[in-house]
Amino acid sequence: MTFSFAQIINLLVVYKYLFLFPITVFEGPIVTIIAGFLSSIGIFNFFLAYIVIVVGDLVGDCFYYSIGRFGRKGFLERWGHYIGITPERISNLESHFDKHSGKTLIIGKLTAVGAILLVAAGVAKMPLGKFIWYNFLPTVPKSFILLLIGYYFGQAYLTWDKYLKYTALSTIGLLILVVAVYFLIKKIRSRYEY
pLDDT (mean) for 166-193: 78
Q: What is the pLDDT of residues 43-85, one digit of tens each?
A: 999 999 999 999 999 999 999 888 888 876 666 666 665 556 6
pLDDT (mean) for 9-17: 86
Mean of pLDDT over the chain: 81
Residue 145, pLDDT > 60, answer yes
* pTM exceeding the 0.85 threshold for the entire prediction: no
Q: Are 64 and 109 in contact (CB under 8 A)?
A: no
Q: What is the pLDDT of residues 27-44, one digit of tens each?
A: 878 889 889 989 988 899
Domain ranges of the chain: 5-155
pLDDT confidence of residue 186: 78
Distance of alpha carbon 136 from alpha carbon 55, whole angstroms:
9
Residue 5, pLDDT > 80, answer no
pLDDT confidence of residue 125: 84
Q: What is the pLDDT of residues 155-166, one digit of tens each?
A: 665 565 666 667
Q: What is the pLDDT of residues 93-110, one digit of tens each?
A: 677 777 877 888 888 887
Candidates 122, 121, 114, 141; CA nearest to 53 is: 141
